[in-house]
């Protein structure tokens, strides 16, 4: 599992020793589309392609992990190695990734952008009249499971006046159970443990439960699934991942429209690489939006903060004369800075409007 501490370490890491280079590998190990032999062969091809760039021990470390240490319980792997400086991370992801290899002074984080955005932490609350189960998933992996059981609801077969009395008692007990569960879920949302919430159960129970949620918890609800409260974490994970992906696709279309409209009207938004780099480095951005295939070289002055995106930029900063540092992939740098600054990140695929606007932009605080 990728935790925030590991992400921050990767985002802040830079090789300092002479000839040190970080080897970053992303590998699709989805058993639905690849056999073990197929992804091992794909890995060998990736590692062969960087022979002479990546250190032999780093290539061997990654190959050994995939061959002998990987537990084969995920769909994607993200691996980072620089043995000379003690860097090693192996992350299993429950979502597939594209095969990618990169060698540089820093870990290559751009391929994680879409995973971190689409499958960031969310909760699934399965409810019935006797309580609720809350599952918290992060990057498709179950992070925690919490349950709350209220009064037992028993159905009675008596008719007439007694039947109505029992029904009122059962309805009151069910209300108390749902109310208690809604308070528990509301607390998770208020504390920021989940920002997106999926409700599951029968239509009637979900509707009653949703009405009892606090306003802030209601605003966190992004969809519903039809699932029994006794469903296993694996079943819940599969159903919710599919829904989360659908919701993210729809949200991205709206977000791109918002970004472009805001920038066009002169509002707090940046479009294009140069404007976006300046905004992010100045700490003004709160939401970065990027095309998944966007890549561009840029130059940065670590002394005064100047950023240049023209290919003809000289080696010296035009503002202070300090030697410029080349950013081989400014998109990757933006993803890293977004992680460091806790900027929300959205990676978009095949959106012609965003591509026409420069393939990258940001919504700004001011």
Does the CA dihedral 274-275-276-282 come out positive or negative? positive
Helix (H), strand (E) at residue 289: strand 285-291
Distance CA 293, CA 285 (A): 21
Helix or strand or coil: residue 30? coil
Give the per-residue pLDDT at 114.
80
Superfamily of domain 118-248: eRF1 domain 2 (3.30.420.60)
Give the per-residue pLDDT at 181.
84
Question: Which of 3.40.1160.10, 3.20.20.70, 3.30.470.20, 3.30.960.10 would CATH assign to domain 4-108?
Answer: 3.30.960.10
Tracing tokens 């918002």 back to the chain, one arrives at: 258
Helix (H), strand (E) at residue 9: helix 4-12
Mean pLDDT by 10 residues, the chain (366 residues): 84 89 97 95 98 96 96 93 95 91 94 85 89 86 77 46 50 76 87 89 91 93 91 90 90 96 97 94 95 90 80 72 87 92 92 96 97
Number of Cβ within 10 Å of residue 366's Cβ equals 6
Distance CA 5, CA 353 (A): 35
- pLDDT tens for 200-214 read 999 988 998 999 999
What is the domain partition of the chain in residue ranges? 4-108, 118-248, 268-364
Give the per-residue pLDDT at 169.
47
Give the per-residue pLDDT at 313.
53
Distance CA 299, CA 342 (A): 23
Give the pairing type, strands 141-149 and 307-308.
unpaired
200 φ, ψ to 5°?
Answer: -135, 150
- The CATH number that domain 268-364 falls under is 3.30.1330.30
Distance CA 86, CA 80 (A): 11
Residues 6+ apart with CB under 8 A from 60: none
Phi-psi region of 305 (alpha: psi -120 to 50; beta: other; left: phi over 0): left
Sheet holding 285-291, edge to edge: 269-271, 360-364, 285-291, 344-348
């Amino acid at each position: 599992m990728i935790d925030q501490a590991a992400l921050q370490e990767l985002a802040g890491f830079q090789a300092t020793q002479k000839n040190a280079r970080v080897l970053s590998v992303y590998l699709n190990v989805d058993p639905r589309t690849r056999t073990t032999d197929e992804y091992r062969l794909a890995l060998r091809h990736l590692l062969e392609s960087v022979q002479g760039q990546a250190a032999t021990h780093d290539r061997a470390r990654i190959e050994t992990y995939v061959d002998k240490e990987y537990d084969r319980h995920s769909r994607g792997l993200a691996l980072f190695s620089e043995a000379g400086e003690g860097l090693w991370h192996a992350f299993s992801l429950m979502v597939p990734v594209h095969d990618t290899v990169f060698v540089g002074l820093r870990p290559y984080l751009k391929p994680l952008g879409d995973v971190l955005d689409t499958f960031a932490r969310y909760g699934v609350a399965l409810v019935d009249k006797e309580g609720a189960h809350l599952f918290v998933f992060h990057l498709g992996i179950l992070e925690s499971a919490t349950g709350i059981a209220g009064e037992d609801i028993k159905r009675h077969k008596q008719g007439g006046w007694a039947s109505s009395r029992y029904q009122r008692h059962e309805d009151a007990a069910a209300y108390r159970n749902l109310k208690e569960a809604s308070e528990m879920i509301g607390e998770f949302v208020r504390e920021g443990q989940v920002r997106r919430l999926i409700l599951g159960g029968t239509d009637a129970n979900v509707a009653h439960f949703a009405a009892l949620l606090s306003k802030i918890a209601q605003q966190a609800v992004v969809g519903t699934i039809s699932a029994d409260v006794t469903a296993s974490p694996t079943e819940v994970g599969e159903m919710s991942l599919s829904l989360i992906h659908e919701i993210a696709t729809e949200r991205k279309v709206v977000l791109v429209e918002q970004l472009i409209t805001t920038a066009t009207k002169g509002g707090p938004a940046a479009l294009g690489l140069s404007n976006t780099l300046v905004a992010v480095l100045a700490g003004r951005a709160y939401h970065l939006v990027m095309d998944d295939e966007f890549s561009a070289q840029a130059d940065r002055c670590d002394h005064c903060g100047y950023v240049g995106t023209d290919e003809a930029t000289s080696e010296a900063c035009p503002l202070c004369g300090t030697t410029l540092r080349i950013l081989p992939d400014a998109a990757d740098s933006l993803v890293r800075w977004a992680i460091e600054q806790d900027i929300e990140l959205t990676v978009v695929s095949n959106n012609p409007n965003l591509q026409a606007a420069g393939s990258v932009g940001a919504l700004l605080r001011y």
